[in-house]
Amino acid sequence: MPKISDEKRNARRAQILEAAWVCFQKEGLHATTMEDIIRASGLSAGAVYSYFKSKDELIIAAVTTSLTQLRGLLEPLLARDPLPDQLIHQVVAAVGTFAARDKYDLRRIALLGWSEAQRNERLRATMREFYLVFRKQIEAAATRWKKAGVLKAGASADDVAKTLLSLILGFVVQSAIVGDVDADDLAGGLRQLAAGRR
């Protein structure tokens, strides 16, 4: 076969990555065998290995791809300059939407990725970087909130960003493990905590 076009190469990569995710979500990162992925991708072992040179490589690529998709989902939301509870509502709703698809649940992916990051230096660095950037973006929003008078002038934009990020990450866990949480719950809960007199 003659040289394959870049387009086709990328399509094949995506095809393998998708097959990998289907398996990873069903079985977890380690319990998924390369044979599972190979079968799910419809290709041969050799073909899969010509695109990803090891299972580890495939895991990293899969997680990284998810992170990239997640970024594409979140950035437009932040750009709309929402209020804190609106931000939570929109982000959580967006993640939940992704979760609804049966083949691609961002929450499960996140949980697997976090676990793997503990023993995979490279993966940990990639994830850390991603969340750090996201936190910075929330911090920028918090600074705007201060200017707009939504937050007090003396508030720490950094602490607010850490708090909101925790809320979002915690939603992922709570929704995957406990269930029965949605965007309205968290946005509402946050609003009520804020509305209380202190």
Partner DNA sequence: GATGAATGAGTCTTCATTCAT
Partner DNA sequence: AATGAATGAAGACTCATTCAT
Which residues lie near a copy of itself (CB under 8 A)?
A: 25-31, 84, 108, 111-112, 114-119, 124, 127-128, 131-132, 135, 145, 149-152, 155-156, 158-174, 176-179, 181, 184-186, 188-198
The structure tokens listed for 165 are: 């990020």
| CA–CA dist 184, 72 (Å, integer) | 22
Choosing among a copy of itself, DNA, none, which partner's interface includes residue 33 (Cβ < 5 to 8 Å by kind)? DNA
For residue 151, give the DSSP letter: S
Q: How far is the CB of 162 from DNA (least distance, A)?
A: 37
Q: How far is the CB of 127 from DNA (least distance, A)?
A: 21
Choosing among DNA, a copy of itself, none, which partner's interface includes residue 54 (Cβ < 5 to 8 Å by kind)? DNA
The dihedrals phi and psi of 53, each to the nearest 5 degrees, come to: -80, 0
| CA–CA dist 79, 59 (Å, integer) | 31
> In terms of CB distance, is 10 or 159 closer to a copy of itself?
159
Which residues of the shown chain bind DNA in the complex (CB under 7 A)? 1-4, 12, 31-35, 43-47, 49-50, 53-56
| CA–CA dist 69, 187 (Å, integer) | 23
> In terms of CB distance, is 60 or 106 closer to DNA?
60
> In terms of CB distance, is 10 or 42 closer to a copy of itself?
42
The structure tokens listed for 181 are: 């949480």
Q: Tell me the chain's radius of gyration from C-alpha atoms.
A: 20
Q: How far is the CB of 170 from DNA (least distance, A)?
A: 31
Choosing among a copy of itself, DNA, none, which partner's interface includes residue 61 (Cβ < 5 to 8 Å by kind)? none
Q: How far is the CB of 54 from DNA (least distance, A)?
A: 4
Three-state SS string over 85-147 comes to: HHHHHHHHHHHHHHHHCCCCCHHHHHHHHHHHHCCCHHHHHHHHHHHHHHHHHHHHHHHHHHH
Choosing among a copy of itself, DNA, none, which partner's interface includes residue 128 (Cβ < 5 to 8 Å by kind)? a copy of itself
